[in-house]
Amino acid sequence: MRMQELDRSECLELLGSRTVGRVALSAADGLTILPVNHVVHDGTVVFRTLPYGVIAMTAPDAEVAFEVDDLDEETRSGWSVVATGTCRRVEDPGQVQAVRREGEPEPWAEGQRTLYLRIDDPTLTGRRLLP
């Protein structure tokens, strides 16, 4: 097996190739990792959440990590991309519309996920494991 480091453009491409990732944050009861649907917009990771859920209460203005991967257990190959940075609310209606035009992050879970969050100027790291 050979490990390959991915550059920023490859990381953004792979982040955008999936619709589900995991956001890691520090909640009141400790570190938490939660799945969310997302899109990549202007080099940022954008996702929607409940306005009064754990993500909404702890992620805005905090440092978070976001991870997307693809693994093939049969060939023992795959890739992983991690984006880290400050999470911000997307409050400007024009910015929300721009995200929607490019591809709405469609939550799978029920509930009114009306709060848009983004990871501003993320630091991206990625690796690919090749057979």
pLDDT digits (tens, 9 = 90+) for 71-87: 999 999 999 999 999 99
Total domains, the chain:
1
Give residue 45's domain range.
2-130
Whole-angstrom distance, CA of residue 38 vs CA of residue 35: 10
Collect contacts of 95-98 with beta carbons under 8 A, ≥24 apart.
Answer: 98/41, 98/42
User: CA nearest 17: which of 81, 65, 75?
Assistant: 81
pLDDT of residue 131: 83
Residue 88 has pLDDT above 70, yes or no: yes
Q: Give yes or no for a contact between 45 and 86, defined as CB atoms under 8 angstroms apart.
A: no
Whole-angstrom distance, CA of residue 45 vs CA of residue 91: 15
Q: What is the CATH number of the domain that holds 11?
A: 2.30.110.10
Q: Map residue 64 onto helix, strand or coil.
A: strand
pLDDT digits (tens, 9 = 90+) for 40-70: 999 999 999 988 889 999 999 999 999 999 9
pLDDT of residue 108: 67
